[in-house]
Structure 1
Amino acid sequence: MDVYTGIGYGSSSSDFALKGDYGSLGKDPIAIGYTNNGFDFNAGLRLKFGFFAIYGDYTFGDYSMLSAGIGFGFR
């Protein structure tokens, strides 16, 4: 059994604009911007059974996420 943790930093930005002349709404009536920055932390567990492994991982942050999977390893 393996236990692991990690820390990360993420940064994202997005812009949206509705350009044009829309009469009573005016010219270029909508402009929206979004920026998000922050740290996240994850913790997980992996169980190995010979060449077969299963894992689970959870990330704590603005966008929390749970993931799981299986793996096969040959050496």
Structure 2
Amino acid sequence: VSARETKRRATRERLLEAAVAEFKRDGMASADIGAIVSAAGVAHGTFFFHFPTKEHVLLELERCEEMRIAESLTAFFDTP
């Protein structure tokens, strides 16, 4: 993995974490993208590079949770 890809992934993760905190604080509908990017320490346009809308953040979180569950199930069924 290149340094550029590592940086991109780290930025995306910071955005996800900041978005989750904002969603918890103000709810999805009232969440402010400005507050998210400020908390993540990135430019406003960076949010939209990674996520076209706030809803896409939720889709990404759901995808990550599904992968975590699938990995747990695989490990469980592979255990003798």
Larger helix fraction of residues:
2
* TM-score class normalised by the smaller sequence: under 0.3
Larger strand fraction of residues:
1
TM normalised by structure 2 equals 0.21
Q: Which has the larger radius of gyration?
A: 1
